[in-house]
Structure 1
Amino acid sequence: MAFHPIAADDDDCAVGVSRPYAWIVFALTFGLLISDYMSRQVLNAVFPMLKGEWALSDGQLGLLSGIVALMVGLLTFPLSLMADRFGRVKSLALMALLWSLATLGCAVAQDYQQMFIARFMVGVGEAAYGSVGIAVVISVFPKHLRATLASAFMAGGMFGSVLGMALGGAIAAKLGWRWSFAGMALFGLLLAVLYPIIVKEARIAPRRAALAANKAAAAVKRPLRTLFSSRSVIAAYIGSGLQLFVGGTVIVWMPSYLNRYYDMPTDKAGGVAAIIVLCSGAGMILCGMLSDRLSRHCPERKVTLAIAYCLGSCLLLSAAFALPAGPVQLALICLGMLIAAGTTGPCGAMVANLTHYSVHGTAFATLTLANNMLGLAPGPFITGRVSDLIGLHAAFQLVPLVSLAAGAVFFYAKCHYHKDIARLKGEQVHDSMSKAVLEVKV
């Protein structure tokens, strides 16, 4: 559910990398992204076992999940900048090594405190992987493939989440929860060792990297103020984060819900939860395509659709958790999750439309920060604390109401969207004219 900065479309630098090698780079980088999310989400599959063995509260379990998203949100910017400075390939390998070793630390943790420290380090290792990984991938392909590659790369997060919960639950049922973490860790360590051996910085267009660095330095002088200069873009950040509070919380707590209220064993609960995650991922893509199609001649319609996705997911999930356990409830949960993440596409378009083209990478990183700090980090923790007081089923009945707040924020954005777009276009025209005048003088 994170947006990753993509190089400007006017970068005409030759790729200079053979097509087979480019696909090898993509496969290894994609594999590490899957490892990233497997290590992050395997915890959800073994929640019931940890709760029983260590007598943990739901609030404590939620914090183990939320701390990873919190560190990702806080450290994405500084670690991405460090990777650009010291080398992306080397940085990706170090990130993978860190989160894999931290996941192995989860496997040998003897108490809650040790598990919390290990999960903290998982978040540190994963913080900048998305932004740096997609930068490596698009650097070895021609620009006409960038949209396809970016979409495929982002989908890796969903595949990793599904595999983490499904395989984690299956391994835990057979060998115990410690082997679930160990299995994810060994997969990540293998790729972390292979990555710098096969992917070489010198072979992935150093000239392109130098040009990108120069552009990044020049961007500091450009209108960064557009990141927060309009009411609509601020509302887009906030609305996106609030809506992900709902989707992220359901994903984290669904294995535990299935275990408690459907009496499913760990492996089956992880498998069913993985199907629900797939619904969310499919909905993210389908809702984004629908938004593009319906908003082709009316960009403001994206905001209206974001509101509709919020209200629709609230209605479906509220109806689902008002029902007793059964097939109808599961069907409604799948439908609700199908559109719960539907705001991802419209929010990305809103942020791109409402910020200066020269700072789109920073704008998407800001959106990622909001998603983590407002949704993915606090959602599981707050829900866990509420569950300790009134039970997980009752807590789930309250979670969809956050979508009403997200919808209200998007409605506020809609009221100012057209005016803010017009002002930004005027500023961009003024900047272009000023640049042309300076070039003539030179």
Structure 2
Amino acid sequence: MGAHQYVSASSADTSIGIPRRYAWMVFALTFGLLISDYMSRQVLNAVFPLIKSEWALTDSQLGLLSGIVALMVGLLTLPLSLMADRFGRVKSLTLMAVLWSLATLGCAVAENYQQMFFARFMVGVGEAAYGSVGIAVVVAVFPREMRATLASAFMAGGVFGSFLGMSLGGVMAEHFGWRWAFGGMAVFGLVLALLYPIVVKEKRIASPRLKDESGQKIKPAKSPLRSLYSSRSVVATYIASGLQLFVGGTVIVWMPSYLNRYYGMSTDKAGITAAVIVLFSAVGTILCGMLCDRLGKDRPDRKVLLAIIYCLGGCVLLMTAFALEAGTLQLILICLGMFLALGTNGPSSAMVANLTHNSVHGTAFATLTLANNFLGLALGPLVVGKVSDIIGLHHAFQLMPLVSIAAAAVFFYAKRHYHRDMERAHLPALVQNPEQNREN
């Protein structure tokens, strides 16, 4: 009975009664705020050279300004996601957007490093749970057969936001000054934050009460939270995903500075060029995820194998690129390396979903976000910044891709236990509904 209820709950269509046009409006606004989230986060990277020069900062200090946002996201994503489920997702998303936009405005008026650090700290607090809560809103308003596609597109929105933040921020900083770059991102976020609760209503996106075929309410499974850490594979996936984002996240943060120092590019040109590299990452995230779904449809373990291939392929391409002198060939190889480096997002998400209980998938993805931020997006820029202070940014970039080898090794460990952990996690559901589990 419990397994049967588990399958029913996970397959319930929460979009019943929601007009498709309204669903797309919800998606557009939620997606737009995700773009604002990452524009506010990544605009700093485009203005690194200007702030470094004006305030005489070290690379370690610059790396900390970037890493503090990811650190706060990692620390707060779980508790704030749980609070949003109780307080109301629309109210929570609106408050988050207002907070990170006002904090970004604080960056624009900061007079010294300490004020900038506090403002970036508050940006991180505001952005902490937006990804996990936002995706919960999106999947709630669309039919279940569209959820995987929309979730993948939503996740890629973060990379597109990075692209816009770095490119537009670089142009605005070059022509109007770095403070206006932060101000522009803040205004964009505030406008969307004010519009969001006017269009998106909590009562229209709330999930219905789930019932089984007999009309009885479905009871939650016993201790579903245990599945978050109950298998070796899922813990290894959290770690491997975070380690791989050490590489991808570091390149995104430091590439404008690299182009400014070693290519002699102006702030606007460096921002646009770095944004193109980030765009390759976004395309790679989507296409590598699609390939993962196609090849792993009947063989779930292929998802893990593809994650390993993406890690090692990206490592080879990036190490080759940073062994070359500055030039067109190096930039092409960096683009190709980043195309693969962030391709692990799809397999990692799929593995976490397969290895955890449906009723706690939101918390599971928040846990994955925590690992990604602690091990990758926060640690990577900070460590590379400190290494850069000692041996220079170019040599630091030469060493950085080696972390992908560690990520591949942890994914390999996950692969060794994946089949057994899948069987243990889904055997009850397999007995009750074998057809659905073959599709997974």
Matching of residue 106 in structure 1 with residue 83 in structure 2 = no
Residue 151 (structure 1) aligns with: 152
Amino acid aligned to 1:141: F
**Deviation at residue 32 of structure 1 after TM alignment:** 1.1
Matching of residue 272 in structure 1 with residue 273 in structure 2 = yes
**Deviation at residue 167 of structure 1 after TM alignment:** 0.2
**Deviation at residue 277 of structure 1 after TM alignment:** 0.4
Q: Is the 8 A contact 1:67 1:120 kept in 2?
A: yes
C-alpha change, 1:78 and 1:326, in structure 2 (3 Å) is: same
In structure 2, C-alpha distance between the alignment counterparts of 1:155 and 1:106, rounded to whole Å = 26
How big is each residue's C-alpha offset from its partner over 1:3-34, in whole Å with a ceiling of 9 and x where there is no partner? xxxx9642235532333333222222221111
Residue 3 (structure 1) aligns with: none
In structure 2, C-alpha distance between the alignment counterparts of 1:25 and 1:308, rounded to whole Å = 36
How big is each residue's C-alpha offset from its partner over 1:165-219, in whole Å with a ceiling of 9 and x where there is no partner? 00000000000000000000011111112222232323x144x26669xxxx964
In structure 2, C-alpha distance between the alignment counterparts of 1:251 and 1:100, rounded to whole Å = 21
Deviates more, 1:26-35 or 1:233-242: 26-35
In structure 1, C-alpha distance between the alignment counterparts of 2:67 and 2:85, rounded to whole Å = 27
Residue 121 (structure 1) aligns with: 122
Matching of residue 50 in structure 1 with residue 51 in structure 2 = yes
Amino acid aligned to 1:364: F
Superposed structure 1 runs of 4+ greater than 4 Å apart: 209-212, 217-220, 427-432
**Deviation at residue 144 of structure 1 after TM alignment:** 2.9
In structure 2, C-alpha distance between the alignment counterparts of 1:162 and 1:8, rounded to whole Å = 37
Amino acid aligned to 2:184: G
Residue 386 (structure 1) aligns with: 387
C-alpha change, 1:90 and 1:296, in structure 2 (3 Å) is: closer
Deviates more, 1:418-427 or 1:163-172: 418-427
In structure 2, C-alpha distance between the alignment counterparts of 1:419 and 1:144, rounded to whole Å = 27
C-alpha change, 1:393 and 1:83, in structure 2 (3 Å) is: same
In structure 2, C-alpha distance between the alignment counterparts of 1:8 and 1:182, rounded to whole Å = 44
Q: How does 1:411-426 map to 2 (within 5 A)?
A: 411-426=412-427
C-alpha change, 1:356 and 1:220, in structure 2 (3 Å) is: closer
In structure 1, C-alpha distance between the alignment counterparts of 2:234 and 2:140, rounded to whole Å = 29
Residue 410 (structure 2) aligns with: 409
Q: Is the 8 A contact 1:356 1:428 kept in 2?
A: no
In structure 2, C-alpha distance between the alignment counterparts of 1:248 and 1:132, rounded to whole Å = 22
Matching of residue 10 in structure 1 with residue 11 in structure 2 = yes
Q: Normalising to structure 1: TM-score of the pair? A: 0.90
How big is each residue's C-alpha offset from its partner over 1:231-272, in whole Å with a ceiling of 9 and x where there is no partner? 222111111110010000001000000000000000000000
In structure 1, C-alpha distance between the alignment counterparts of 2:349 and 2:135, rounded to whole Å = 16
In structure 1, C-alpha distance between the alignment counterparts of 2:56 and 2:69, rounded to whole Å = 22
C-alpha change, 1:209 and 1:134, in structure 2 (3 Å) is: farther
Q: Which SS does the other structure have where 1:342 is aligned? A: helix
The aligned length equals 420
Q: Is the 8 A contact 1:66 1:376 kept in 2?
A: yes
Residue 35 (structure 2) aligns with: 34
C-alpha change, 1:294 and 1:148, in structure 2 (3 Å) is: closer
C-alpha change, 1:89 and 1:282, in structure 2 (3 Å) is: same
Q: How does 1:136-285 map to 2 (within 5 A)?
A: 136-202=137-203, 204-206=204-206, 208=207, 219=220, 221-285=222-286
In structure 1, C-alpha distance between the alignment counterparts of 2:432 and 2:79, rounded to whole Å = 29
Q: Which SS does the other structure have where 1:101 is aligned? A: helix
**Deviation at residue 431 of structure 1 after TM alignment:** 10
In structure 2, C-alpha distance between the alignment counterparts of 1:186 and 1:45, rounded to whole Å = 18
In structure 1, C-alpha distance between the alignment counterparts of 2:419 and 2:139, rounded to whole Å = 33
Q: Which SS does the other structure have where 1:377 is aligned? A: helix
Residue 295 (structure 1) aligns with: 296
Q: Is the 8 A contact 1:243 1:406 kept in 2?
A: yes
Q: Is the 8 A contact 2:81 2:363 kept in 1?
A: no
In structure 2, C-alpha distance between the alignment counterparts of 1:358 and 1:18, rounded to whole Å = 25
Matching of residue 375 in structure 1 with residue 372 in structure 2 = no
The alignment-based identity, stated in percent, is: 73
How big is each residue's C-alpha offset from its partner over 1:367-425, in whole Å with a ceiling of 9 and x where there is no partner? 11111111111000111011001100010011000011111111212222222223333
Amino acid aligned to 1:57: T
- Output the aligned Cα RMSD: 2.1
Q: Which SS does the other structure have where 1:341 is aligned? A: helix
Q: Is the 8 A contact 1:303 1:414 kept in 2?
A: yes
In structure 2, C-alpha distance between the alignment counterparts of 1:169 and 1:264, rounded to whole Å = 11
C-alpha change, 1:262 and 1:74, in structure 2 (3 Å) is: same
Query: Can you give the 5+ residue segments of structure 1 that lack an aligned partner in the other structure?
Result: 1-6, 433-442
How big is each residue's C-alpha offset from its partner over 1:96-149, in whole Å with a ceiling of 9 and x where there is no partner? 110000000000000000000000000100111112222222333333332232
**Deviation at residue 220 of structure 1 after TM alignment:** 7.0
Q: Is the 8 A contact 1:93 1:192 kept in 2?
A: yes
Amino acid aligned to 1:267: D
**Deviation at residue 55 of structure 1 after TM alignment:** 0.6
In structure 2, C-alpha distance between the alignment counterparts of 1:9 and 1:422, rounded to whole Å = 18
In structure 2, C-alpha distance between the alignment counterparts of 1:26 and 1:430, rounded to whole Å = 36
Amino acid aligned to 1:174: H
Residue 316 (structure 2) aligns with: 315
Q: Is the 8 A contact 2:73 2:127 kept in 1?
A: yes
Amino acid aligned to 1:398: L
C-alpha change, 1:147 and 1:315, in structure 2 (3 Å) is: same
Amino acid aligned to 1:312: G
Q: Is the 8 A contact 2:249 2:377 kept in 1?
A: yes
